[in-house]
Structure 1
Amino acid sequence: MGYLSVFDMLKIGIGPSSSHTFGPWTAARKWIHELILSGALFNEIKVELYGSLALTGKGHCTDKAILFGLMNFDPEEVDENLLDFYFNSARENKLIVHDLLRIRFDLISDIQFLKNTVLPYHSNGMKFKAYLNEALVAEDIFYSIGGGFIVKEGETESALTENKELPYPCPSPKDLVTTAFKHHLSISDLVLENEKMLRPEVEIKARLMNIWSVMKKAAYAGCHQEGILPGGLEVKRRAAALNKQLLRVHDYNNADEWMEAMKVGRDFKKVITRISCLALAINEVNASMGRIVTAPTNGSAGVVPAVLFYYICFSGQEVKDDDICRFLLTAGEIGKYFKLGATISAAAGGCQAEIGVSSSMAAAALTECLGGSPAQVLMAAEIAAEHHLGLTCDPVGGLVQIPCIERNSMGAIKAITASMMALAGNPDYAKVSLENVISTMKETAEEMNEKFKETSLGGLAVNVSVKFSEC
């Protein structure tokens, strides 16, 4: 496996799910691009969804994501406010417009949800077929493997990363601590030096600050949007009402002024409530097909930014742009070890692989920025991840709403707690390592019953009685 960049772990995309929305969107876009480059002639497309993609695809907007990918929309740049318009137009006209191509595509009949079939490599499988006057001209299988990562059948995950000779290769968390200690580097400095093998430092920091900008915009939007979340569960948005309660005496006109208003009043109750509110806000945006940052997934997108808000607004430190970059570099580095050593896909490992990993990333990043040693950083990551082991993924109605949104708040609070414990502790006396937790997460994922892996066939998904107003 080549080098996995921090920007592979922190990607800008559209909600509600990295594996069921962002991944299929990316796969569809890649497939049709390759098909057009091949020179193949076609005028009709059909798509088959398998396993978890079929079981919860409607709730996760997989059909919409595939449509937008086939239309060549970039999830990082498309105007998310126009997505409903594009979807309704394609559904009514039974037509995809891709640049200069006009392709027959009926959303009802040309996307099949094969709920009882799982393809061999991963439970999130999809097959794309192209036809010319009803004759099959191309057929390819893709897998969405979590965090927006995709794999085309016949390729390997190693093809997704770049092989680079790094100044500080650290294949394991233990290597990370040893190397940082040996060279008198912080973890974020070490990661930055490795990232500079891919792109200039000025570009790295610009991209990191853009990631922070998207996080901030999502939090601000979520804290100021009321109403009911889409999907039919009739889940009421809570972040806006909570934000009003917390800032009822303050005036502000933009996100930066809003952040300054947050800093007034730092008693424990207000701080803990504010962090919960921010995590809720971001994942309400995610649930409504808004733009967020995978960290490491869409379903867990609220944890890392909520803890970053805590660091900026409530740590009592003066936080500059370079400090925000340090936070994100550390978070991304920790996420990579879970991606390579276990999984970040709820369809493969349950919610321990999403909220558990995001909490670990956030705990490590906060510890780094509060002055923790490299060993304390990994200790914080271990504590946060350890106490999410075994967490199932059981979305009610197949939507990233219940219990997913609240779980982001819990993951953020656990991350802060883990950081405080690590900063007050001595890693020399720790009995559990981050490697232990990652290998345990992998084993737990492999042994977990499939009904608890984002299928909506078990847990809260079957024990909570709901009626849908729409679907």
Structure 2
Amino acid sequence: MLSVLDLFRVGIGPSSSHTVGPIRIAARFSDGLAKAGNLSQVQRIEVELQGSLALTGEGHATPKAVLLGLAGFAPETLDPDAADAAVSEINSSHNLSLAGTHQITFDPDKDIVFAYGIIPSLHPNGMRLRAFDASGEILSDETWYSTGGGFIASQRQLEKPLEDDLIQTQVDVPYPYSSAAELITMCSQNDLTIEHLVLANEDSLRPRSETSEALDRISDVMAKCIERGLSQTGTLPGKLNVKRRAASLWAKLANDHGSNEREQLFDWLNVYAMAVNEENASGGQVVTAPTNGAAGIIPAVIRHYCSGTDDARDRTRKFLLTAGAIGILYKQRASISGAEMGCQGEVGVACSMAAGGLAAVWGAVPQQVSNAAEIGMEHNLGLTCDPVGGLVQIPCIERNAIGAVKAVNAARLALHSTGHSHVSLDQVIETMRQTGLDMSTKYKETSQGGLAVNVVEC
């Protein structure tokens, strides 16, 4: 079993798979050199970006992520301003403090190689790292994969047989589940909501108070991200010159007191989601939910439906725990990587999670929560990942706004239903997986098809 805290990770934009994952991989590699006693012998590091990491790496800030990871930064704790300063220094001086302690010469233009022609068979987000000593001998040669949502895996881990390929907690939980059907059955047999079943599992991993503190930090980072996005103006980084829109829409909504609240519902959800994803596009601090590219959907729905009340903390925890339970199913039974599944694996999964979380807040029973999650994904099946210019901006920012609105409608539809739906959540997850496997590579975060080739970049 995964923990729900594995799905909601604090990091920086613009991408969980292309930024957060590579930071963690590079840091893991340099830490491995230190643990093996080889750090002081390292003279040169070469990093080869493969597959989608190469094809859209520049627009997704992957080279920056490599530098941060090698220098010992962690995505959960780094300060974006300090990180930018460190990267600027490395780019100008060509000196890097490996793992924060050992100085080496590192020229990003030469030592980061974009292997556009290599599409790894194990996962499309491949990253090979090699360390050399003064004589040119290889001290370490490792291949890692960024598997979506900030998760990483070594080549050895992905080469294991399927039955061994689940991440193990090494802790027995009281309610292990591997399908939505099992989750609902255990809830029914034990008279538990999904929230309380997940909490019981989390209790096996850490004290309840630590889980609550972690969930509150996640929601606080989400809220602060919205606030930053609502106050920032100007143009987003990159050659597309995309203007920030959230702040101006927010000002209009805040001053338009005469409008009908129902008519404005879409606008409120839109502005919150866009605020988050504009921050993500600018490299700000966000929470993977379950990825950076889809980071705006869950915070937008939480902000509109869970904040501003006396029980806001409890409502938000219920939302995150329920949504996390659904996200675990997608992660374990399919994938949350846009490079594997297209955007159905990012925005689609986030929409599904948000629909289930909101349904739970509104009092839905576990079967209705599952129905809401199913509806949220069913109408995102086949969604492609085709970022224009390799940037997480078009269509990503607006796509999160649309996903938030869809999630709310899915929750409403589920609350009007009783019993099992004609399509189960397990069936729609498997359909997403099959659709992702069948989808052409050019529509899976490579910027080689769809909008990415039909929209003029500048």
Does structure 1 residue 440 correspond to structure 2 residue 447? no
Q: What is the rounded CA distance, in whole Å, between the counterparts of 2:426 and 2:166 in structure 1?
A: 25
Structure 1 residues 159-215: Cα deviation after superposition (integer angstroms, max 9, x where no partner): 743132221122210111111111111110110000111000000000000000100
Q: 1:449: how far off?
A: 0.5
Contact 1:45 / 1:129 at 8 angstroms: preserved in 2?
yes
Equivalent residues in 2 for 1:291-302, closer than 5 Å: 291-302=285-296
Q: CA RMSD in A?
A: 1.5
Equivalent residues in 2 for 1:41-440, closer than 5 Å: 41-97=41-97, 98-133=99-134, 134-156=136-158, 158=165, 160-248=167-255, 267-313=261-307, 318-428=310-420, 430-440=421-431
Contact 2:372 / 2:413 at 8 angstroms: preserved in 1?
yes
Q: What is the rounded CA distance, in whole Å, between the counterparts of 2:349 and 2:305 in structure 1?
A: 19
Letter paired with 2:438? E
Letter paired with 1:21? T
Q: What is the rounded CA distance, in whole Å, between the counterparts of 2:454 and 2:186 in structure 1?
A: 48
Equivalenced residue count is: 449
Structure 1 residues 251-294: Cα deviation after superposition (integer angstroms, max 9, x where no partner): xxxxxxxxxxxxx9761122220110000000001111111110
Contact 2:372 / 2:414 at 8 angstroms: preserved in 1?
yes
Q: Which has the higher mean CA deviation after the structures are superposed, 107-116 or 160-169?
A: 160-169
Structure 1 residues 328-387: Cα deviation after superposition (integer angstroms, max 9, x where no partner): 011111001011111100000100000000000000000001100100000000000000
Using the size of structure 2 for normalisation, the TM-score is 0.95
Letter paired with 1:60? H
Q: What is the rounded CA distance, in whole Å, between the counterparts of 2:177 and 2:260 in structure 1?
A: 38
Q: What is the rounded CA distance, in whole Å, between the counterparts of 1:74 and 1:163 in structure 2?
A: 24
Structure 1 residues 24-82: Cα deviation after superposition (integer angstroms, max 9, x where no partner): 11000011001111011212111001111100000000000010000111212211123
Q: What is the rounded CA distance, in whole Å, between the counterparts of 1:48 and 1:366 in structure 2?
A: 42
Q: What is the rounded CA distance, in whole Å, between the counterparts of 2:254 and 2:168 in structure 1?
A: 44
- Which segments of 5 or more consecutive residues in structure 1 lack a partner in the other structure? 251-263
Q: What is the rounded CA distance, in whole Å, between the counterparts of 1:266 and 1:12 in structure 2?
A: 36
Q: 1:235: how far off?
A: 0.3
Percent pairwise identity: 45
- Which segments of 5 or more consecutive residues in structure 2 lack a partner in the other structure? 159-163
Contact 1:357 / 1:385 at 8 angstroms: preserved in 2?
yes
Q: Which has the higher mean CA deviation after the structures are superposed, 303-312 or 391-400?
A: 303-312
Q: What is the rounded CA distance, in whole Å, between the counterparts of 1:356 and 1:199 in structure 2?
A: 30
Q: 1:318: how far off?
A: 4.8
Q: What is the rounded CA distance, in whole Å, between the counterparts of 2:311 and 2:378 in structure 1?
A: 29
Q: 1:85: how far off?
A: 1.6
Structure 1 residues 84-143: Cα deviation after superposition (integer angstroms, max 9, x where no partner): 221111011101113221111101000000111112211100110111113322111000
Q: In structure 1, what is the equivalent of residue 161 of structure 2?
A: none
